[in-house]
Amino acid sequence: MLNSQQNILKRIIATSFLLFLAFFLELICRFTINSGVDCSYSFFKIELIFIILIGFLFGFKYSFFATLSYLLIHFAFEYFQLEAFFGSNHDDHHHQKQEIFLIFLYRFFLPYLACCLSGLFYQKKENQLFSKKSLIFALLIISVVQVVASMLFIDLLQKHFFEEKNSNILINFLFPKKRYDFLKINVIYSLVSVVINNLLIGVLLYLINFRLKGKLEFLQKF
């Protein structure tokens, strides 16, 4: 009983450390390769590697609650930023809350929570974190969910933000329909982002798995 509790505590500590690394890497990426772009629309999301890794290391349960914790912290920060933005651009408070919720749902909750699905491929007492097939299947499922979430977000932008502001002179100048296809640009951006991120994460996870192959005795202590 005592050993079981100690193992749970060790997993929680290890999971917390991986979440810290995810936040730290996200912060670095935001001010380097993402050029200061807000994390809700950043191109590179390499920090997700740590959330996916939690699933492969400790299983779905730990991955799910770790991702949920990560999302709640994100929501606390993003909500106030979005509320500050909408506060000066929105008259309908109820509609504002709904839009903030939908943005968070499509840009954070669905694509990030999809990463915990790696826990479904958890291999207990194996000499490697995952097989090649497991890694490919996990990343394919994650990619599909992220693409769907991105399409829903683009639809939200088009319906609730872009089209509603067609009367704005600045918007009409920046995004004239004849010169700029809002939908296609965002679809390409989102698809390329998902593909590149998951390819990079896949390569990094493969290298981690290769280095740890046959050296996973330390996981028996968890």
pLDDT (mean) for 133-152: 94
Whether pLDDT at 155 is above 80? yes
- What pLDDT does 143 receive? 96
Which of 115, 111, 109 is CA-nearest to residue 62? 115
Lowest mean pLDDT among 64-78, 80-94, 102-116: 80-94
Contact between residue 50 and residue 25 where contact means Cβ atoms under 8 Å apart: yes
Most confident of 3-17, 61-75, 117-131, 182-196: 61-75
pTM of the predicted structure, to 2 decimals: 0.83
Task: Read off the pLDDT of residues 26-58 as tens digits, 9 standing for 90 and up.
Answer: 989 888 888 877 777 788 899 999 999 999 999
Q: How far is CA 192 from CA 19, 44, 143, 167, 186, in A?
A: 25, 10, 11, 31, 10
Q: How far is CA 182 from CA 54, 85, 148, 173, in A?
A: 36, 21, 18, 13
Task: Read off the pLDDT of residues 167-200 as tens digits, 9 standing for 90 and up.
Answer: 444 445 545 554 456 677 888 889 999 999 999 9
Determine what percent of the chain is predicted with pLDDT higher than 90: 40
pLDDT (mean) for 81-102: 65
> 76: left (phi > 0), else alpha (psi -120 to 50), else beta?
alpha
Whether pLDDT at 206 is above 70? yes
Whether pLDDT at 131 is above 70? yes
Angle at 8 between CA 6 and CA 10, to 5 degrees: 70
In order of their start, the domains of the chain are 2-221 (1.10.1760.20)
CA count, 13 A, side-chain hemisphere, 7:
10
Mean pLDDT of the chain: 81
